[in-house]
Amino acid sequence: MADLQTIDLTVNGQAHRCSVQPRQHLVDFVRNELGLKGSHLGCEHGVCGACTVEVEGKIVRGCLTLAVQANGCKVRTIEGLSQDGDVQDLQEAFVRHNALQCGFCTSGMVMAAKELLESKPDATRSEVREWISGNYCRCTGYHSIVDAICETLAIRAGRVTAGSVA
């Protein structure tokens, strides 16, 4: 067994000092050590996006990022985004458009969409599809997810009101 390493990081605004195995993945750390179950472990190969978390303001695959790599960093999970209210409008759009289905991919989708909303507020429908293409959803066929994101973009830009067709 490898020696434990001590890491200091801030998760959802709360400072943590923990001892971790050097090869423990960040998503396993936040789920198992901190009890934050919103990020899911799907493929364990960085393909599905269910494990998406934010490190220093950028989304990463939590199954490909080691907890020790987050030492000294600020990490946000879906719980942090939700408690801060940063994605309330997006979450409401997901509900309106039935973009949730089973919910397994939803946290990763919302994390990816949040980054898109901030970095490309004028994204087209095809750009939204491209942006979320790294996040798998087996339930919705993506149409309702894209509708929810596009509606949120339009609402934030003042082009429509909640519940309007984007």
Last residue of a domain, one of 65, 81, 97: 81
Residues 89 and 77 in one domain: no
DSSP category for residue 103: -
Instruction: Give the residue-averaged pLDDT of 51-64.
Output: 96
- In the chain, the number of structural domains is 2
Residues 67 and 91 in one domain: no
Residues 93 and 30 in one domain: no
19 is a domain residue = yes
Between the alpha carbon of residue 106 and those of residues 3, 67, 78, 157, the distances in Å are 35, 23, 9, 23
**Cα gap 107→110, rounded to integer Å:** 5
Q: Which residues are registered as beta bridge partners of 5?
A: 20
Residues 77 and 9 in one domain: yes
Mean per-residue pLDDT over the chain, rounded: 93
Residues 76 and 9 in one domain: yes
93 token code pair:
């759009």
Top-confidence residue, 104 or 74: 74
Q: Per-residue pLDDT for 166 more than 50? A: no
Question: What's the pLDDT at 103?
Answer: 87
**Cα gap 74→10, rounded to integer Å:** 5
The sign one gets for the Cα dihedral 88, 161, 94, 76 is negative
CB 33 within 8 A of CB 55: no
Q: Closest Cα partner for 27 from 10, 14, 46?
A: 46
**Cα gap 100→97, rounded to integer Å:** 8
Of 26-35, 50-59, 142-151, 154-163, where does mean pLDDT reach its minimum?
154-163
164 is a domain residue = no
**Cα gap 90→85, rounded to integer Å:** 10
Question: What's the pLDDT at 100?
Answer: 87
Question: What's the pLDDT at 162?
Answer: 75
162 is a domain residue = no
Residues 14 and 56 in one domain: yes
Residue that is written with structure tokens 């050097």 in the block: 22
Q: Per-residue pLDDT for 55 more than 50? A: yes
Between the alpha carbon of residue 122 and those of residues 39, 98, 132, the distances in Å are 27, 23, 15
Q: Closest Cα partner for 156 from 143, 166, 142?
A: 166
The whole model's pTM is what?
A: 0.90
Last residue of a domain, one of 21, 48, 81: 81
Specify the CATH number for the domain of residue 44. 3.10.20.30
Last residue of a domain, one of 33, 64, 81: 81
Residues 66 and 25 in one domain: yes
Domain of residue 46, residue span: 5-81
